[in-house]
Amino acid sequence: VREVFQLDENWRPLQYIQNDFEDQGEVVVDHATGLMWQKSGSDIWLSYQKAETYIKILNQESFVNYNDWRLSTVEELVSLLESEKQPNDLYINSIFDKKQWWCWSADKHSTGAAWLVSFHDGGVGWSKFDSSLVYVRAVRSTN
């Protein structure tokens, strides 16, 4: 799996992306990847099922006038990782809210589990749907 996600033995990226962030209020656009991210994300930890519901609600309410929000893939979340801790004491640019320090991905680890990215540790892990509460940071493609 580390090979698929291009991670080292510590489950951190082998290469880091040079992001090109633009702060647009409630969202951040990364012109390097063509992705628009929620600047913050969920206010509370959510089960995986509630994370999916959170995304549905964003789309029903047309968050910042878009209704194509989704859970991000591991690769997309990894694109936000910085190689060193930032002033916010996390491995994510300080333009983002630091509350969402680990986030669910759309990628399943196995039946009953999904991959997540920790901006606290700067790496990738996984957790079970039924016993874990994790934050969500929604994403959409700008292309």
Looking at residue 9, its pLDDT comes to 83
Q: What CATH code is carried by the domain that includes residue 58? A: 3.10.100
Domain, as residue range, for 72: 2-141
Number of structural domains found in the chain: 1
Looking at residue 41, its pLDDT comes to 96
Q: What is the mean pLDDT of each run of 10 residues along the chain (143 residues)?
A: 76 88 98 98 96 98 98 96 95 97 93 92 90 96 92
Q: For the sheet with 27-30, list strands across it.
A: 21-23, 27-30, 35-38, 139-141
- State the DSSP H helix or E strand holding residue 55, giving kind and residue range, or none if neither: helix 48-60
